[in-house]
A = this chain, B = another copy of it.
Amino acid sequence: MAETKKRGRPRSAKAEAAILKAARELLDEAGPARLTIEAVATRARVGKPTIYRYWANARELAMAALMARMPERAGMKTSQSAIADLRTHVRGLIARFATTRGRQSALMLATAERDSEMFKAFRNQVVMTGREEGRAILLRAIAAGEVNVDMPLETLLDLVYGPIFFRLLTVHAPLTQDFADEIVATLVEGVSTRA
C-alpha cells in the first residue's frame, strides 16, 4: 500500500514506442552489434538521455526490442498423443529461432551481462516462454503414462532446447525441421539396444 505518488511530467509512451521501433529497425538492418544509442536517438527523433532513462545501455535496449518482437505464441492445440504434441512444439520452436530474429536473440542471450535484471527477463520471456509450454506437454505425457521421467524435469527440457541453441551458435549443421523429429525420437526411444 506504500504507493509512490507520481509527481512531475509522466514519461512519454510515444517516446518509448518510437525508441523501440527505431531499435527494431536497426536490428533488422544492421544487427545487434551496430545498434548504437546515437543511431537509435537520431532515428527515433528522441534525445539520448531519454533512452538512458529507460535502459542502461545499448544491449539492454536491444533485448527490449527483441522481446517486443518475439511473435506471440499461438495457443497450442492438444492432440491425443502428448509425444506428437511435443514434436509439433519443437518444430515450432525451430521455426521461430531459425530466423534472423531468432539468431539475434540467442546471440543477445550469450552477450548479455549474466546477472542483470534485463538478462533474466529476456531469458524468461524469449527462451523460457516456450519452455513452459514444453513443460506442460511433458507433464501431460507423464500423466497419460506415455513417458516416465525419473529425474528433474529441467534436465529433460534442457535436452530438448539445448541442441537447438547449440546449432544456432555453432552453425556446424543446419537447423531443419527434421532435426526436431530426431531430437524427440531420440529422447523418447533412447539409443540403447537392450530393449
Chain B hits for A154, CB < 8 A: 172-173
Closest to A191 in B: B147
A187 in contact with B186 (CB, 8 Å): yes
A163 in contact with B170 (CB, 8 Å): no
The oligomer's copy count stands at: 4
Interface residues on A, range: 35 or more
CA separation between A107 and B112, bound complex, in Å? 9
Binary per-residue interface labels of chain A (132-149) against chain B in the complex, 1 for a CB within 8 Å, 0 otherwise: 000000000000011111
Chain B hits for A159, CB < 8 A: 159, 162-163, 183, 186-187
Within 8 A of B (CB), among A147-195: 147-149, 151-152, 154-156, 158-159, 161-167, 169-173, 179, 182-183, 185-193, 195
Can you name 28 A-B residue pairings with CB atoms under 8 Å?
Answer: A106-B110, A109-B110, A110-B169, A123-B172, A127-B170, A128-B170, A145-B193, A146-B192, A147-B192, A148-B191, A148-B193, A151-B186, A155-B182, A155-B186, A159-B183, A161-B166, A162-B163, A162-B164, A162-B166, A163-B163, A165-B166, A186-B187, A186-B190, A189-B190, A189-B192, A190-B190, A190-B191, A190-B192
CB-based closest 8 A-B pairs: A190-B190, A110-B110, A162-B162, A162-B163, A162-B166, A158-B163, A189-B190, A155-B182
